[in-house]
Amino acid sequence: MVHAKDALGRYGEDLAVEHLRRQGLTILARNWRCPTGELDVIARDGSALVICEVKTRRSTAYGSPLDAVGPRKIRRLRELALRWLDEQQLHVPEIRFDVIGIVQPLVGQPVLQHLRGV
């Protein structure tokens, strides 16, 4: 059984991946998991590896979805990115951390914000 929160999150990640592809990025992995966490989207933008955290909400009643990604979460994403690189045995010249926030109201079109290099 899929919970509404999980379905909304999956929908947001699908929108984010399509947005990234339209921006010219190549998607390498989605929802990569290890015992210490998960990376939503791993992509390539030229020679840069892009780790993208996706947050989807129904409203901004509790703030923007972008507000949910603070310094602690960014540190965690860095640790996970290094673990992914080690697992893949890859070396890249640059790693960039992006956040995509999506608000999908019950009625109407989604609003997507993409912050690069957070």
The class that CATH gives domain 4-115 is alpha beta
Q: How many CB atoms lie within 10 A of CB 110?
A: 12
Which DSSP category does 106 fall into? Answer: S
| Each residue's pLDDT tens digit, 16-67 | 999 999 999 999 999 999 999 999 999 999 999 999 999 999 988 888 999 9
Place of tokens 């999506």: 102
Q: What SS3 state is found at 101?
A: strand
What pLDDT was estimated at residue 55?
95
What pLDDT was estimated at residue 3?
66
Q: Domain segments of the chain: what residues?
A: 4-115
